[in-house]
Amino acid sequence: MGSLLYLHQYQIQNFINAPEQFKPGVAYEWKGEDVYHAYLEYPRIAPSGYAVACLFLKVQNKTDFDNAETLVEEMKKSNSEFDRFNVIIVFRLENGQLLKRAFLPNKPDIQIRIEYIPDKSNLYTRSKGLIEVGALEKRNVLIVGLGSGGASIAVELAKAGVGNFVLVDFDRLELHNISRHIAGVNELGRLKTNIVRDAILGKNPYANVNTYPIDIMEDTTTIEGLVSETDLVVAATDSLPSRYLLNALIIKYNKVGLFGRAVTRAEGGDVLRVRPGGPCYACLKGSQWYTHEEEITDLRRARETGVIPAYTSEDDANAMVQVGLSTDIAPINTMVVKLAIQELSKGTDCLITTLDQELNYDFYMWANRRELHFANWAPFNNNPGRKKPTILQWYGVKFPKSCDCNECKHY
């Protein structure tokens, strides 16, 4: 079997139009798999694999193209710099057509097939009809908080074809995040904004992603500007003050906001949708539906953000860190994504809008287990007349806008 080499079309176009006859680049190889991805400039998406030096070469005539191996040997003789290239990629324009071939100087017997990663893609044509892909491409989503919730939601929205993202989080990826985050140990220490940007671009290389590694509680001017310009706010932060701030801004600028969270040990979770004129996060906090037990996943963050009160002893605080399973958070993320797509497809003519008749609640609750707060929920297989909420099924609630609510009564 031969090797396979991928090139980004836009990089090759730049090279062909440039005056240089050759340019050094980098190829990333998956050892033992005979697959290379070659780059002329640092790619928008962080590459993986092992880096090897590669040379991009343009030739004029057919002989040089067919016998590029000899040409490269001659170049090596005059300049030992060329010894370091393990992959050579050769181009030639013939009657307006760009011919390309590649070889490995140290393994001349290996045949290499070249594939282009195109400039404009039809990656999402399969979703056409189900959702209005063209419409989602133009929409802009602001995601605040890129932990196990926000990061997964961002990637799902990219897969659906959403074209514009603004990502806000000042945290870096730490070891204790790994079991539930989309990122792995190879990205430890990186800013979550950059990790998620790369993950989005990996799914949709044509998305526009702007990152803000800021603390919204300290830089309220920036977050206010971002909320005012977006089509939808996904509030996936883990502190009450940040949710209140986002809530106030969502109301002020007449936006739709989705607040998703897990409660203690991810025994369940909920999603609140704040819509213009409807109840808000502060209204929910005053309602019978609100569960006060927050899931606490990170001691330091919980201390800083006031989720764990300052007077709590170190031992008590440690006992409060109770992390649920990733799979128990997944349903909550999925509901946020469904509601996000529903909101972003508003005004378009597509099949998924039939869900408007069902997904019309302000607040959605989910229980993974009949424990603690959800102890009196009906079991999955025994709920006569569906009089009570059932575990492992969504339960939608409409609740009134509260007159006492300081946030939304003025609007």
| Interacting residues with Zn ion (CB under 5 A) | 280, 282-283, 405, 407-408
Nearest approach in angstroms of CB 368 to Zn ion is 28
Query: 287 or 383, CB closer to Zn ion?
Result: 287
Q: Are 114 and 100 in contact (CB under 8 A)?
A: yes
Nearest approach in angstroms of CB 252 to Zn ion is 12
Nearest approach in angstroms of CB 279 to Zn ion is 6
Query: 100 or 409, CB closer to Zn ion?
Result: 409
Nearest approach in angstroms of CB 233 to Zn ion is 15
Question: Using CA atoms, how far apart are residues 64 and 350, in angstroms rounded to an integer?
Answer: 54
Query: 133 or 408, CB closer to Zn ion?
Result: 408
Question: Using CA atoms, how far apart are residues 256 and 379, in angstroms rounded to an integer?
Answer: 33
Nearest approach in angstroms of CB 399 to Zn ion is 10
Element (H, E) at 269: strand 268-274
Question: Using CA atoms, how far apart are residues 281 and 284, in angstroms rounded to an integer?
Answer: 5
**Tokens describing residue 35:** 């697959």
Nearest approach in angstroms of CB 142 to Zn ion is 20
Query: 208 or 406, CB closer to Zn ion?
Result: 406
**Tokens describing residue 403:** 């007159």
Question: Using CA atoms, how far apart are residues 187 and 151, in angstroms rounded to an integer?
Answer: 14
Nearest approach in angstroms of CB 401 to Zn ion is 6
Single-letter amino acid, residue 204:
N
Query: 39 or 364, CB closer to Zn ion?
Result: 364
Query: 271 or 408, CB closer to Zn ion?
Result: 408
Pairing label, strands 50-58, 97-103: unpaired
Q: What separation, in Å, do the N-terminal and C-terminal C-alpha atoms of the chain show?
A: 67
Nearest approach in angstroms of CB 144 to Zn ion is 19
- Sign, CA dihedral 222-224-228-232, equals positive
In angstroms, what CA-CA distances link 324 with 188, 296, 297, 329, 401? 21, 9, 8, 8, 32
Nearest approach in angstroms of CB 408 to Zn ion is 3
On the 0-12 / 13-18 / 19+ scale of CB atoms within 10 A, 173 is buried
Query: 337 or 405, CB closer to Zn ion?
Result: 405
Q: Are 391 and 379 in contact (CB under 8 A)?
A: yes
Question: Using CA atoms, how far apart are residues 160 and 181, in angstroms rounded to an integer?
Answer: 20
Query: 140 or 287, CB closer to Zn ion?
Result: 287
Pairing label, strands 208-212, 232-235: unpaired
Query: 298 or 362, CB closer to Zn ion?
Result: 362
Q: In sequence order, what are the residues at sequence separation of 6 or more whose Cβ sits closer than 8 angstroms to the Cβ of residue 90? A: 57, 58, 59, 65, 68, 100, 101, 102, 103
